[in-house]
A = this chain, B = another copy of it.
């Protein structure tokens, strides 16, 4: 069907016919436009982008030998450094340090806690030592004893007042625009998008649905036990420091199994902490699979780091394995036309 401009000087009946043809044509044009429009406008048209688009096309094309039925289209995204920054500190650590300082005068028992003293003295290397033992201790400490509702309220309150020291914006306005497009693109193709992060599940669930479109039940993170009780006739769940599960490194495939129960076919990460889940997603997976590493190469617009990060996010071993494993490496500086939403 070809489209012609609306013509004058014809009978009313013919005019109506022309209008109908015109409307049909516009509809077709709009459809064709939607079909051809770029689902990832903040991504440069590079080989990496093409490879991601081709993967999604091939696993969702029912005629393709690589077709994967919709229920198996599980895709997992690390959070810190993959969906939003992790500098100068992972945002949950910034929250926990702010909480610690705010409450310190009212918590005399914290005075004998050496990690608390490191925190007050802003001795970050001490806190980051021993596979983040200090970080997790503080993160648990400021949550422990609160009900899950109280904890969520504190996170919400912090997000509404705290500001990122460099970008001077609320933390939850710093999601990476290219990754928001990626999440939407995968979901539009029948994928379920999950966060699988070293961050606390209860922390991320406060904003994940609003910011990323990821509902609480698709947020997998570090956690400790909660205890159920009735308090003044209302059911509450109390956060404790018991049975810490660290959803990082080899904890990520374990967390994926425990919370999702099947292997993902696509995985996005940015550090060696994501290497195990990249492996679990891509090595000898009976389904076609995709592994993507976001490499922070953009000191001007965001940060540049791999071997010697400021805080978390070391990327050495996973980067070295990438070529052999076929993992795509995104060069943030060159592959992302935009970093943050305007």
Contact = CB atoms under 8 A, between A and B. Distances in A.
In the assembly, how many copies of this chain are there?
A: 2
A64 interface: no
B234 A284 contact: yes
B259 A259 contact: yes
B71 A234 contact: no
B223 A260 contact: no
Interface in A227-261: 227-230, 233-235, 237, 243, 245, 250-254, 257-261
A243 B234 CA distance: 28
A322 interface: no
Interface of A is mostly: mixed
Contact of A243 (B226, B243, B250, B283): B243
B262 A216 contact: yes
A295 interface: no
Contact of A223 (B202, B216, B258): B258
A253 B234 CA distance: 13
Interface residues on A, range: 35 or more
A209 B71 contact: yes
A205 interface: yes
Interface string A129-157: 00000000000000000001000000000
A258 B225 CA distance: 8
A39 interface: no
A215 B279 CA distance: 23
Contacts of A201: 258, 261
A276 interface: yes
A257 B226 contact: yes
Given A192-B217, A205-B261, A216-B260, 8 more contacts: A216-B261, A227-B250, A228-B252, A228-B254, A233-B284, A235-B280, A237-B254, A243-B243
Interface of A: 71, 74, 148, 192, 194, 201-202, 205, 209, 215-219, 223, 225-230, 233-235, 237, 243, 245, 250-254, 257-262, 276, 279-280, 283-284
29 contacts: A71-B209, A148-B257, A192-B217, A205-B261, A215-B261, A216-B261, A217-B217, A217-B261, A219-B261, A223-B258, A225-B245, A226-B258, A227-B250, A227-B254, A228-B250, A228-B251, A228-B252, A228-B254, A228-B276, A230-B283, A235-B276, A235-B279, A235-B280, A235-B283, A235-B284, A237-B253, A237-B254, A237-B257, A259-B259
